Amino acid sequence: MIARFVLGLGLAIALAAGPALADDVNGVWLRESGASKVKFAPCGGAVCGTLVWIKEGTDTPAKVGQRLFDRMKSTGPNAWAGSYNNPDDGKTYDATMTLSGGTLTTSGCAFGGMICRSSTWSRAN
């Protein structure tokens, strides 16, 4: 009887912690173009992404240390939504991220989702 209670309690705790069992997005990610790396880390109950490296010779107004992804909050297993600060035009866009294994896909949208652009990232070593 006690063993069933403990097993049931353990199962209930595991199910309640579902989103916490999602793949970990924290760490450094390399953009598909190979031109930049962003480090995702916890920030105030969400996840934020900060530019940590730009490939030499890359023409961009972005600066190392600039926060690109802001207040990315979990929307389900391996999915987040927040905002993207675009250094190219200085504007902020709605953004989403999805993680599948070692691939992170980010998407920023304008005009209520009518125009979107996405990028694929891989874990940097």
- pLDDT, one tens digit per residue, over 8-64 is 333 333 333 334 444 699 999 999 999 999 999 999 999 999 999 999 999 999 999
Q: What's the total number of domains in the chain? A: 1
For residue 80, give its domain range: 2-123
Closest CA to 96 of 115, 75, 114, 121: 75
Cα angle: 117, vertex 121, 125; to 5 degrees: 160
Q: What is the CATH number of the domain that holds 99?
A: 2.40.128.520
Q: CB-based burial of residue 51 (10 Å sphere; 0-12 exposed, 13-18 middle, 19+ buried)?
A: buried
d(CA 70, CA 46): 8
What percent of the chain has a predicted confidence (pLDDT) above 70? 82
Closest CA to 87 of 110, 109, 104, 64: 64
